[in-house]
Chain A
Amino acid sequence: MCNVRISKGTCKISLENQKMVVNPSNTINNYYSFVDYSIIFYSTTRFHLSTGVNMKKFFKNLKESFKIINFVILLPIYFIGIGLSKILWYFSKLISKESRNGWLESEKLSKKLKNYEEMY
């Protein structure tokens, strides 16, 4: 018997006498775990389809589970986006003579508060 409860930010999965608590937000913080989301997705789907109750809740849980879609988005971003950037970077490096090696002269720290408000 598989029982799944998803409250805000936490997913509790009971498999017979064994209990497991998965916290998706914490999982993201501690480096995204594909396996954890797979477990949530599989368990929620199977549970709700087998019982056939509360479809609204099912879709809400499904939306949460579809954070896994990040995987589908990130794959093309990486291989196309970063790949193209790599080509551009390679050519720019041929032109640029900028070096990050050795001691570099530091820029003066800004005394303007405005510059510290910038995230860059």
Chain B
Amino acid sequence: MYILGISAYYHDSAAALIKDGKVITAAEEERFTRIKHDNSFPSNAIDFCLRYAGITINDVEYIAFYEKPLRKFERIVQTFVETYPFSYIPFWRAIPDWVTNKLAIKSTIRKKLGYKGKILFVPHHEAHAASTFYPSPFNKAAIFTIDGVGEWKTIGLYLGNGSDIIPLKEIHFPNSLGLLYSTFTAFLGFKVNEDEWKVMGLAAYGKPRYYDMISLRKLLK
């Protein structure tokens, strides 16, 4: 059984192909289009995965998308409402993309790939949890996901047991350790969702002069 995983329209669009529970290939769209962090629909990456496996799209049993778009849209609209009237510029920038691409992802997949099978929408943090637990050598493990933000979830605690992932506890937006990291990335003049790794790398060369000022103990209660 083949399952095709897709991420698109956020950053670094990519595709991965799973055969009988094993990842057999994966590719990022930017490698084909030569556009850094390309977020367009990953047609080239999907094409590569299918050619690598020697199959066509009709052989794929399920296509899995990496988040629940409507739940995420709910969070974004609610944030616009809560931060009104200061959210106009983010609203103006984000809404056309949501209307033209993100909310129409199901029809886009069917149209661009000519796919008639089932399309599944996996909650964002559960997708992260699965990607770390299933390829691991452990049969039972605690799983901890820390991300900027998924649909609502920013941190998730799970128990992995065999083929099951059991959600235990979670923290919701706007309380986010990942977004705090991104905020510091932006503060230092780097690009969010692109340059977090630079901050991480440079941190090793710095001295903790501002540790007391930005201590997580003070920031996080």
Contact = CB atoms under 8 A, between A and B. Distances in A.
A86 interface: yes
A109 B84 contact: no
A28 B120 contact: no
Interface string B88-99: 100111111100
B40 A26 contact: yes
User: Binding site of B, secondary structure by majority: helix, strand, loop or mixed?
Assistant: mixed
Interface residues of B, number: 52
Contacts, number: 106
B20 interface: no
Given A119-B69, A119-B106, A104 B92 contact: no
Contacts of A25: 40
B71 A120 contact: yes
Interface string A70-108: 110011011100110110010000000000111111111
Given A71-B92, A100-B175, A101-B175, A32 B97 contact: yes
Interface of A: 25-26, 28-32, 70-71, 74-75, 77-79, 82-83, 85-86, 89, 100-109, 113, 116-120
B122 interface: yes
Which 4 interchain pairs have the tightest Cβ spacing?
A: A106-B167, A120-B70, A116-B120, A86-B84
Contact of A31 (B82, B87, B88, B93): B93
Interface of B: 9, 35, 39-40, 64, 68-71, 74, 77-78, 80-82, 84-85, 87-88, 91-97, 100-101, 105-106, 118-123, 126, 152, 156-158, 165-175
Given A86-B82, A108-B167, 15 more contacts: A25-B40, A29-B9, A32-B92, A78-B80, A78-B91, A82-B84, A86-B84, A89-B82, A100-B173, A109-B167, A116-B120, A116-B122, A119-B70, A119-B121, A120-B74
